[in-house]
Amino acid sequence: MHIRGLFTKIWAYTGIIVVSVVIVFLFAFVFWKGGSTITWEFLSTPPAGLVLGSEGGILPAITGSLAFTLTAIVIGAVPAISTALYLVFFCKSRRMESMIHLVIQCIAGIPSIVLGLFSYSLFVRDLNFGRCILSSGIALGIMVLPFIEVRAEKTFRELNPAMIQSAYALGCNKTHTILTVVLPACRGELFSGIILGGCYAMGATAPMIFTGAVAFASNPTSLFEPAMALPLHLYLLVAQGHTSLDMAYGTAFVMMAVILISNVLVTMYARRRQREWKQ
């Protein structure tokens, strides 16, 4: 028993150390390689240079990525949270519940390039939206929908049922209970799920390339125009060879910093909400 316990401990610590070392190394490598590129000019100017992007900055890629991400989370989060609410509070048929779970799993399992191709043919061509932020936002929204739905459903299921039933027991209907008790109680976790979904969308290159991200576009001003995106910018810089590698690391640095900062902020927010809830 003692040996088994010791073995489990060593196994767990080894796992933690290996994972931590890999993550720290990855971040440190990108930050070390790209850190020197980060200047105010890099963050606030459009790309320039003879090989476009070898000089100047990445502002249109930052604004474009934010536009794609925001559109995606708006389009993805609403049906994701609605589906989770339906499954937890309204669905009484186990068969229906299994069917919806199966659909969600299938969407989660679609390779992003296939999703990009589907969105290209449906939204860009058939529905004639063209390559724009909206087409891309829908494609990315479909991609993050399962991500947000699974987290939202888990959050709703973990809420103390007595709290919900207390509202029902007062005669309040489900809609009122959801709006006044469930959603405020789950706000922190829902928000963190949405932001993490946004981070996931921000890094998804394939659907963006097919549907709305174009090389070196200017800052977006409407949902119906294409835009630049950080992952595409990174890809193009690397594809140009060694001339723009520093800029590529700088772009990667910005992407990772945005995702890291979002994660930290979201974790802090969710913990604060949880503390407020439990105190």
Contact footprint for another protein (CB under 8 A):
92, 94, 160, 162-163, 165-173, 176, 180-181, 184-185, 276-279
Q: How far is the CB of 188 from another protein (least distance, A)?
A: 12
Burial of 192 per CB tally in 10 Å (0-12, 13-18, 19+): buried
Q: How far is the CB of 56 from another protein (least distance, A)?
A: 50
Comparison of 13 and 90: residue with beta carbon closer to another protein: 90
Identify the CA nearest to 259 among candidates 198, 184, 183, 175: 198
Comparison of 66 and 91: residue with beta carbon closer to another protein: 91
Q: How far is the CB of 88 from another protein (least distance, A)?
A: 11
Comparison of 36 and 175: residue with beta carbon closer to another protein: 175
Q: Which residues contact 165 (CB under 8 A, 6 or more apart)?
A: none
Q: How far is the CB of 176 from another protein (least distance, A)?
A: 6
Comparison of 2 and 278: residue with beta carbon closer to another protein: 278
CB 185 within 8 A of CB 159: yes
Q: How far is the CB of 266 from another protein (least distance, A)?
A: 21
Q: How far is the CB of 158 from another protein (least distance, A)?
A: 15
Identify the CA nearest to 104 among candidates 139, 148, 169: 148
Comparison of 135 and 177: residue with beta carbon closer to another protein: 177
**Alpha helix ranges (H) inside the chain:** 2-35, 40-44, 59-85, 94-109, 112-119, 133-158, 161-169, 174-177, 183-202, 205-211, 230-239, 245-278
Give the C-alpha distances (Å, rounded to integers) separating 182 from 110, 168, 179, 257, 272.
31, 12, 6, 33, 17
Burial 76-99 (b: 16+ CB within 10 A, else e): bbeebbebbbebbeeeeeeeeeee
Comparison of 186 and 206: residue with beta carbon closer to another protein: 186
